[in-house]
Amino acid sequence: MSTPKNLNTAAARILHLLTTRCETPSHLHQILAQLLIQNLRSDTTVAHRFITACHSLNLLSSAAFPLYINNCTTPHTFVCNTLLKAFSHSSAPQKSPIIYSHMHRNSISVNNYSFPFVLKALADLKLMKEGTSVHAQVTKLGFMNDVYVGNSLLNLYAATGDMAFCGKLFDEMPLRDVVSWTVVISGFNEAGRFDDALIALERMRSEGVMPNQVTAVNALAACAGFGALDIGVWIHEHVKRSGWELDVILGTSLIDMYGKCGQIEEGLRVFEDMSEKNVFTWNAVIKGLALSKNGKEAVRWFFRMEEEGIQPDEVTLITVLCACVHSGLVHMGRRIFSLLADGKYGFSPSVKHYGCMVDLLARSKCLDEAVRLITDMPFQPTVSIWGALLAGSRAQANSELSENAAWKLVELEPRNPAYYVVLSNLYAEMGRWSDVEKVRKLMKERGLKKDMGSSAVKLENQECLLELDIRTKKQHLVHG
């Protein structure tokens, strides 16, 4: 590989331009022209700087890819790896497997730096078939002993939902590090297998591997999902012992865990200890208060959030409306929804916001208002909306409205036997036995079995609407 010490004058000039005068696409294309005139495409140092500049200007696909792949049959392995890395961290990760295939077709050597990048791209794209093909190449070329490559394979299988094979691969790895354990814990979380994630954490500890901050964030998510307060407290103590700063991601994860485990007071203490908060942090607090059915306090924090200059997002509004639902704060719910509908928060109400309001109105015996809201909303009502109306109308013995809502549920999910059972029970309560028989006949025609033990509709849990989407916690789990 060429180095700055032995670069010729033309290469040095190109490098200088790439470093100091490449701020716009126009600048880059002028430099590209000089690069081609001086025939410097094969210079690896120039290539690295040029690809880096393309990445920063979002010109990888239009400039770097054509230069080094379309118009160059055998670029150096280093150049290909630089491209693989850049594309795997770009908005066009689908180019990474194309580059890898180009290397394979043209007998360009791949090494332990190549595989993590292409595997990351395949994991992000959830391309299992292509990933298993790369896995076969890893095995054939003898790179399974490389922990970075192994972790990238773990991430691939976790990302594509094959936790059985991910676990098998993990057990067979000759070398494992904290990243390996973190990938497995994260994979179990994504699959909703929080108990398995916590088992992996305990096994990790028993083998003397201590969690890092990324592990802690993922383990806290598992504690929140499983309600494992004791393990969550241990993680919090480990954070303190390790002297880690309560940054936005870690602090928010702790608040989320305490809120879901019914200890939002501890979460509030964490909040006060954090030097920096963002909208996700505030959402975690409001959600925790909502889950504890402390609606008035949740609303107070919502307005405090605004006072402190934090712009609420869609999740914030869902969360505070759900807090109103669980605490019966119908007037406050109306007020907040009205502000949302009037555009105060910069976005229009989604179907989930409408769902919260229908639920609130139906529970508060405002059935006519709930029906008007459903009629006027700019969305097709969902199962949760009709279910909320059904629950409210049944609680108030409104047979006509209950019947209508139940039939809407049948229309939306004709293969769900629970809705037929509810409808049949409604008719039985009204003494409409011929209609009971019609519902049973309809079930039989549709090949549905009547479950006599099912007397209630399994609706979308409103707590699902309270799920906090801490997207920022998804840090790079694979080296590179």
Per-residue pLDDT of the chain (480 residues; tens, 9 = 90+): 444 444 578 899 999 999 888 999 999 999 999 999 888 888 899 999 999 999 999 999 999 999 888 777 688 999 999 999 999 999 999 999 999 999 999 999 999 999 999 999 999 999 999 999 999 999 999 999 999 999 999 999 999 999 999 999 999 999 999 999 999 999 999 999 999 999 999 999 999 999 999 999 999 999 999 999 999 999 999 999 999 999 999 999 999 999 999 999 999 999 999 999 999 999 999 999 999 999 999 999 999 999 999 999 999 999 999 999 989 999 999 999 999 999 999 999 999 999 999 999 999 999 999 999 999 999 999 999 999 999 999 999 999 999 999 999 999 999 999 999 999 999 999 999 999 999 999 999 999 886 654 555 544 444 444 444 443 344 333 333
Query: Which two structure tokens, joined as six digits, stand for 130?
Result: 């292509």
The reported pLDDT for the residue numbered 476 is 38
Q: What pTM did the predictor assign? A: 0.85
Nearest residue to 361 (alpha-carbon basis) of 342, 375, 380:
375
pLDDT of residue 6: 45
What letter would DSSP give residue 66?
Answer: I
pLDDT of residue 3: 46
- CA–CA separation, 95 and 92 (whole Å): 6
Q: Do 192 and 208 touch, CB atoms closer than 8 A?
A: no
Strand, coil or helix: what is 144? coil
CA distance 449 to 427: 18
Can you tell me which residue has the tokens 């229908």?
Answer: 358
Alpha helices in 274-366 (DSSP H): 279-291, 295-307, 314-327, 330-341, 351-363
Q: b/e for 109-123, b at 16 or more Cβ within 10 A?
A: ebebbbbbbbbbbbb
Residues in the chain, total: 480
CB atoms inside a 10 Å sphere around CB 107: 7
Work out the number of other CB atoms within 10 angstroms of the CB of residue 195.
Answer: 13
Distance CA 317, CA 315 (A): 5
227, two tokens: 């309600």
Measured CA angle at 429 (ends 424, 430), to 5 deg:
100
**Cα–Cα nearest to 267, from 298, 313, 312, 299:** 298
The pLDDT assigned to 113 comes to 96
User: How far apart, in whole angstroms, are the C-alpha atoms of residue 84 and residue 97?
Assistant: 8
Closest CA to 59 of 35, 17, 87: 87
DSSP 453: T
The span from the CA of 477 to the CA of 471, in Å, is 14
| CA–CA gap between residue 443 and residue 434 (Å, rounded) | 14
| Residue of 42, 41, 45 lying closest to 12 (CA atoms) | 45
CA torsion through residues 299, 305, 306, 311, sign: negative
| Structure tokens given for 199 | 């088992």
Q: What is the pLDDT of residue 71?
A: 76
